[in-house]
Amino acid sequence: MLFDTPPRTVARVCVDSPLPHLDRLFDYLVPEETADRVRPGCRVKVRFAGRLLSGFVIELATDTRYEGRLHPIEKLVSPEPVLSEPVAKLAREIADRYAGNLSDVLRLAVPPRQARIEQEEPPGRAGPIVEPPAAGWRRYAHGERFLTALSARRHPRVVWQALPGEDWRTRLAEAAAATAAGGRGALLIVPDQRDLEALDAALTRVLGPDRHVCLSAAMGPAKRYRAFLAARRGTVRVVAGTRAAVFAPVADLGLVVLWDDGDDSHAEPHAPYPHAREVLLTRAKLGDCAAVIAGWTRSTQAELLVESGWATAVTAERETVRRASPRVVPVGDDADLAADPDSGAARLPTPAWRAAQKALRDGNPVLVQSPRRGYLPAVSCADCRRRAQCAQCSGPLGLPSSGATPACRWCGRPAADHRCAGCGGRRLRANVIGAARTAEELGRAFAGVPVHTSGGDRILGEVAAGPAIVVATPGAEPVAVGGYGAVLLLDTWALLSRADLRAEEEALRRWFAAAALARPAADGGSVVVVADGGLPTVQALLRWDPAWFAARELGTRNELRFPPLVRMVALTGRPASVAELMALTELPTGTDVLGPIPVDAETERLLLRTTRRDGMRLAAELHRASAARSLKKPGDVVRVQVDPRELW
């Protein structure tokens, strides 16, 4: 009819707002002049409550349920559809899993726009990828079949425990190549930039040049956005990156990989605080693709995947493990003290000294893992042993270098005239010895041997073959050409005595990461761990069997109702605010309320514990309650963290 209303296009937009009560899609009219360019996934500006806000078009429709007058889209920022439909669905799932807002997840998923990069001529697609050889994977049970399944477009899900000395970056590159040879995409996530650079080189060797891109926050805005667009446009099929790449828009995703899932770097520090492992496992579920959780050890979360039947363990036979492993020597039990009474007070016991001497004599480098950075990070009174504190802020005093003036580690004030508040003494002694002091001591003990340090903002990538001593903090151990002749694990108490649910698991992860760099026992490689050989963590290192420890730890946590067998949620805020949120929340039946405990003078922390089955329901309830509070008190926020990394 002549007077029929012409059809109109409605865009459903996710508005960029941190307020929980605005966590939904809002309908806007698409202006006629931009109707042919507005597409799902593009960036727009919309008018909301009198302000101009950014947003993403999630979908287009011809009708709306909104009964009022629709506002038009104010501005089409770019017609580039940077948000793909699979990533939008993933973002919604992750937001619900972590009791967060969709807009917060999209802020993590899509990097800021670089207009100049969008105008660049896109590179042509590279040719087909040849399926890689499977020789490296044949050392593992199910390894060759795993690669075959990837190239056949199937979706195996595995937990892979790498052998000591394994070139794990090349193995992961081969898995990505097998996936790409089958016509699907792959996404590989590693903890830090150093690992990413090494993985980048391995992917170039296996895939060939220009067949993959790297994504990380350290790349710089332009380079990162260029790599992001290459993945979004389907120019490349393989993406490698750090935590910032977990939402990378890989076309036809067939494989997700996470190396060392226990590393703290995989935990996102911004709301809603998702963990890279959970994001990738959710992608595997939604996209029906293969998944690999890999590392030198096995986390309790990975063990739960194996025990539940969700994933298959890919490990080597025991005989293969024995041939590849170094000899592990514990030092610290009663028999060691009886044989060498002075070793109890020595930082470098006799067996460790001898192992280092032998390795250097054989022309091999020695790795020393020291858990603390700095020189003397903590000192105390030499007379009464009271911890030395700053006179201004009561912070701990430390010594930054030999001959330096003691200084506060909190406010940085020097304390040249420090006097003990307890006895008045002026002399100081070391409480904790850092990596710099360790390197200094070893340099004096092994005169003429080069001593290198790795840690903090100066991390070594590789150490040449030949006699040398490398003192590294956990996670900063460089690879040695040919492997280390000896690895010394010092001050183990510093890792084992942490007030953390994951202290033993984390200690074992860090020990294995260093020990895996040693030469096999047949080639003279040895690991000396300064700890009691009866400890479960040391037993796992002795047997080179982290799966045994993970199963044992998971069983203990099951009895105590600890994660990952349950869902934990931490609520942090002002006491009155936390109480208001709890009053608005309908907790699932059986949910435990633990606390609250004070965090500082103004805030407290409350823990909620429920079953894994009720985890999503609890997250939904907390998000609903947060939305109700934000309507009344938009500035008074209670931080909600699902499965926080630190529980005490």
The mean pLDDT value for 438-460 works out to: 83
pLDDT at 337: 47
Contact 150, 254 (CB under 8 A): yes
Percent of the chain with pLDDT over 90: 70
Instruction: Return the CATH superfamily for domain 135-320.
Output: P-loop containing nucleotide triphosphate hydrolases (3.40.50.300)
Rounded mean pLDDT, 303-312 = 96
Residue set of the binding site for Zn(2+): 381, 384, 390, 393, 408, 411, 420, 423
Q: What is the mean pLDDT of residues 161-173?
A: 96
pLDDT score for 1: 34
Amino acid code (one letter) for 243? R
Residue 178: predicted pLDDT: 95
Q: Which residue has the higher pLDDT, 131 or 594?
A: 594
Lowest mean pLDDT among 17-26, 42-51, 387-396, 612-621: 387-396
pLDDT digits (tens, 9 = 90+) for 493-538: 878 877 778 889 999 999 999 999 999 999 999 999 999 999 999 9
**Binding-site residues:** 381, 384, 390, 393, 408, 411, 420, 423
**pLDDT at 144 (0 to 100):** 93
For the cut 70, the answer to whether the pLDDT of residue 322 exceeds it is yes
Weakest mean pLDDT among 253-262, 370-379, 402-411, 541-550: 370-379
Between residues 633 and 355, the one the model is more confident about: 355
> Residue 644 carries which DSSP code?
-
pLDDT in tens, 610-635: 999 999 999 999 999 999 998 888 77
Res 432: pLDDT: 57
- Across the range 389-402, mean pLDDT stands at 72
Task: Calculate mean pLDDT across residues 572-590.
Answer: 95
DSSP 373-426: -SSBSEEEETTT-PBPB-TTT-PBEEB-STTPPPEETTT--B-TT---TTT---
DSSP 8-state class, residue 533: T
Give the pLDDT of residue 3.
37
Looking at 3.40.50.300, 1.20.120.420, 3.30.70.1710, 1.10.10.60, the CATH number of the domain 566-642 comes to: 3.30.70.1710
State how far the Cα of 548 lies from the Cα of 305, in Å rounded to an integer: 15
pLDDT, mean of residues 4-8 = 53
- For residue 226, name the pLDDT band (cuts at 50, 70, 90): very high
Out of 100-114, 115-129, 582-596, 613-627, pick the least confident.
115-129
Segment 638-648 shows an average pLDDT of 85
- What pLDDT score was predicted for residue 215? 96
- CA geometry: angle at 217 spanning 212 and 223, to 5°? 55
Residue 407 host element (H or E): strand 407-408
Across residues 320-341, what is the average pLDDT? 77
The share of the chain scoring above pLDDT 70, in percent, equals 92
- Which range is least confidently modeled, 161-175, 187-201, 442-456, 548-562? 442-456
Q: How confident is the model at residue 410 (pLDDT cuts 50, 70, 90)?
A: confident
Preceding omega of 596 cis (within 30 degrees of 0): yes
Report the alpha-carbon distance of residue 473 to residue 489 in Å, rounded: 10
Q: What is the mean pLDDT of residues 59-77?
A: 90
Q: Is the pLDDT of residue 4 over 50?
A: no
**What is the domain class of 10-119 according to CATH?**
alpha beta
Domains of the chain by residue range: 10-119, 135-320, 327-557, 566-642
Spatial CA neighbour of 545 closest among 520, 508, 510: 508
Predicted local confidence at residue 461, as pLDDT: 84
Q: Is the pLDDT of residue 332 over 80?
A: no
Q: Is residue 308 predicted with pLDDT exceeding 90?
A: yes
Q: What average pLDDT does range 334-350 have in this prediction? A: 57
Report which DSSP code applies to 33.
Answer: G
| Residue whose C-alpha is closest to residue 11's, from 100, 79, 86 | 79
Establish how many alpha carbons lie within 13 A of residue 237's alpha carbon, considering only the half-sphere containing its beta carbon: 24
Taking the model in full, what pTM does it have? 0.90
Q: What is the mean pLDDT of the chain?
A: 89
Distance, CA of 139 to CA of 318 (rounded, Å)? 11
Q: How far apart are CA 554 and CA 565, in angstroms?
A: 8
Whether 363 and 351 have beta carbons less than 8 Å apart is answered as: no
pLDDT band at 6 (very low <50, low <70, confident <90, very high): very low
- Within 8 A by CB and 6+ apart from 135, the residues are none
Q: How many Å apart are CA 149 and CA 133, to the nearest integer?
A: 14
pLDDT at 339: 53
